[in-house]
Chains A and B, each alone.
Chain A
Amino acid sequence: MELLVRMGHWSLERWYRLFGCILISIIGLLSSGCWDQHELENRRFVLAIAIDRADQGLGPEEKEATRVETFVQPYGDKRYRLSFQILDITPAENIINGPKGKIATYVISNTGQSMFEMLRDMLGQSDRPFWFEHLQAIIISEAAARQAGGVQPMIDLFRRDPEMRWLTKTLITSGEARSLLEYQPPSGEPSGIFIASSLQLYKKNTHVPTWRTDIGDLTRSTDNNSRVLMARIELVDNIVKLGGMGLFKQGKFIGYVDEYATQGGKFILGIEKSAIITAQCPEHPGKILAFELFRHNTKLTPHLHGEKIYFTLDITMWGNLGETQCGRQHDTMDAGEIHKIETVVAEEVKENVLYSVHVNQELQVDAISFGAKLKAHEPLVWEKVKDRWDDEVFPTVSLLVSVNVTIENIGEHK
């Protein structure tokens, strides 16, 4: 009581001082950063997600398990089987036996329709909360993508949730997706990390689409009502391989594109960093030779001729002679011979490009960005044709290809 009376007589300066003290204590408490701490070991890192059709690839034992791996659902049906690959970090038991701990993964599944609902129900199978910020890959099985609704209901959560990263890779497989989560790569890495890092080798490997077959690209393409690409992954007899891609249009799975067409598509878009182009030897039929691309200059331009739309593609390539299997009978020291090979390789690039265009036109999917080019160069024409682009205009568009190849090094000397 006495204190309060005394405080009544405090000068303004004393009030300021007291206020300052309180402020400093509050800042001290708030800024130490511990109030919202999440410990690493109290989280379950989800490295990869697989989405299958609910009844896909189930043995009798797994059928039994799916009875537990689910919940009573007020709405929707048991359409999808969602699986998580979870990182299991065990610290080293003691220092003497080596400083390394063990890195392993395990897989849990749930069935239902809403991804978010399944995810939260899966906490009933986990001792710690899930953590999605290190999610590397989402693998969708073809059977799930072919179900009603297409790819949209499977992917919506990953576009909306703030915990998901845009760089998470999206892949499609013709078999069961869950088995890819259970796959143990020979290098000992968790398969989620293995798959994502393998996709990053797109610069050297023209048989996988690009690095940007991820949630970010998927979101952008979906919002622009354009095509969606997913890298294709396959597992047979404990061997995993990436190559080719799956195409989607308006959320619907259209089909697969093989490695050769994928490479051709990369040539059209000019996104290849390196490539191996094989061709028949001009002089020894049945023998092949390989050109290694190092540098290129690619230009795709739309043109108008009256009502007709056509495109020109000019490619200049520089690189080395990588392999000649006609070997010793071939004098690659001779400039004339090299010139012949350059012509053959250029012809082959042209064929590859036209094959890729043909595949895209057959599927009526513009995965080679002709539409985007037209929109940029001829916006008025684009406005006119954009509604019937995919199914009417694009499949009949013609492409004129001109390729120049220069061989710089031949890997040989006298």
Chain B
Amino acid sequence: MISGVILICLAILTAGCWDRRELQERNFVLAVGIDMADVYNPIETFTQPHGSKRYRLSLQILNLGTGGDGKDKSNTYVLSNTGESFFEMVRDMLGQSSKSLWFEHVQVIIISEAVLRQTGLGELLDFFKRDSEMRSRMHVYVTSGEARPLLEYIPPNKEPGGIYLSNIIDLHAKNIHVAGKRTDLASIIRYLDNDSNLVVSRIEMAGKVVKLGGLAIFKKDRFMGYVDEDTVAGIKYMFASEKSAIVTIPCPDHVDHQVIFELFRHDTRLRPHVEGDTIYFTLDINMYGNIGEFQGDTALDNTMDPRYVHKLENAFADEIRRTVLYSDRILQKEMKVDILNLFAAKLKAYEPNTWEKVKDQWDEIYPDIPLVISVNVWIQNIGSHK
């Protein structure tokens, strides 16, 4: 008797259907855009007991819907709402949706610069940090314009826009102009919780063209400004986070010719040194790679000559040094931001006693710390033969 009851209970409980949710009964949110609520539709909002109509939140929603002529139609659409609490806005947006919103597949959060000029990143991302439905691998981008048009963007291959936009950054290993490591939500939250400086990739849209490149620099959670692609390359050399890189120089023998180096492997070491009261850093880079391209009169292509190749190696090393110095100058002297607390972390790890002494004035000390750079380049293959 008892075993019979247990058996029936088990059969009912383990069938696994009691809390099922069908895919087609959910609205997948693929991308989130955050703008200032300067202009908005009068019904895209609600009576708010607290706060003001400060932000305009936009969600890009995947359309799994029906329709025979889906080929030339977009498979996503965008909903917006205005308010201050993101959680409140999200729930009120159910009044514009026929299915509940599902955030576990959010790919990217795009924040407009106008918002960041007034609000810290920590306040904006708090909801995404706390809610259990959010995945920590979603990417965060900053744009100088409005975020909503980027959600409305239809990629040329007709992929859903959110997936396309978030895949761009995954190519950071090959694209030296994009610093993709440690800009996902999990890393940003970690940096925020540690009171560290952080970076977010920059995305821009003009007409029907979307491009990722450059970085937005944050001091703690405050937006400081953008740095260009060349600075990003220098930052990646310092962090040793490049997997591959393309370095361009004018040919040392013929000024109007261009030679391009393709980096394959590198060995990078950033070390702090303390002598008396002075702190300085050394950066030693060894790079191995190929000649990737030679632009100019091929009759003057001397790459078969080892002396010429050696000359090129020196020229490439100079170029790398210039790039690193350029980005170090921008960060130290112009922005005065120790990016991702790189130098502080190295000092703390290698010279803990010195760190204890200087950590409280680190922000004042950092802009004056010298960086000594030494670069060696080895060209292994030249891609031409006799």
Q: Is the CB of A198 within 8 A of B49?
A: no
B289 to nearest A CB, angstroms? 42
Q: Is the CB of B50 within 8 A of A278?
A: yes
Give the number of residues in B that approach A within 8 Å (Cβ atoms).
47
A119 to nearest B CB, angstroms? 27
Contact residues in B for A101 (Cβ distance below 8 Å): 68
Q: Does A258 contact B (CB under 8 A)?
A: yes
Given contacts A188-B63, A189-B65, A280-B50, contact A290 B97 (CB under 8 A): no
B275 to nearest A CB, angstroms? 37
Q: When chains A and B are docked, how far (Å) is the Cα of A222 from the Cα of B86?
A: 39
Contact residues in A for B122 (Cβ distance below 8 Å): 327-328
The range of chain A's interface size is 35 or more
Contact residues in B for A242 (Cβ distance below 8 Å): 95-96
Q: When chains A and B are docked, how far (Å) is the Cα of A352 from the Cα of B88?
A: 15
Which among B43, B61, B68 is the interface contact of A97 at CB below 8 angstroms?
Answer: B68
Which among A98, A259, A280, A287 is the interface contact of B46 at CB below 8 angstroms?
Answer: A259
Q: Does A292 contact B (CB under 8 A)?
A: yes
Q: Is the CB of A322 within 8 A of B94?
A: no
In chain A between 91 and 135, which residues have their CB closer than 8 angstroms to a CB of chain B? 92, 97-98, 100-103
Q: Is the CB of A243 within 8 A of B85?
A: no
Q: Name which of A67-75, A200-208, A361-369, A372-380 contacts chain B.
A: A200-208
Contact residues in A for B67 (Cβ distance below 8 Å): 100, 102-103, 188
Contact residues in B for A258 (Cβ distance below 8 Å): 46-47
Q: Does A339 contact B (CB under 8 A)?
A: no
Q: Is the CB of B130 within 8 A of A321?
A: yes
Which A-chain residue is minimally distant from B84 (CB atoms)? A288
Q: Does B204 contact A (CB under 8 A)?
A: no
Q: Is the CB of A326 within 8 A of B123?
A: yes
Which among A189, A290, A324 is the interface contact of B98 at CB below 8 angstroms?
Answer: A189
Q: When chains A and B are docked, how far (Å) is the Cα of A280 from the Cα of B34?
A: 21
* Binary contact track B341-377/A, C-beta < 8 Å → 1, others 0: 0000000000000000000000000000000000000
A215 to nearest B CB, angstroms? 20
B87 to nearest A CB, angstroms? 4
Q: Is the CB of A197 within 8 A of B130?
A: no
Extra pairs beyond A98-B68, A205-B94, A278-B48 (15, CB < 8 Å): A101-B68, A185-B98, A189-B65, A235-B43, A240-B96, A243-B46, A243-B92, A258-B47, A276-B91, A288-B85, A292-B87, A322-B130, A326-B123, A328-B192, A328-B221
- In the A-B complex, the 6 residue pairs with the closest CB atoms: A411-B130, A186-B77, A188-B65, A242-B95, A205-B94, A327-B122
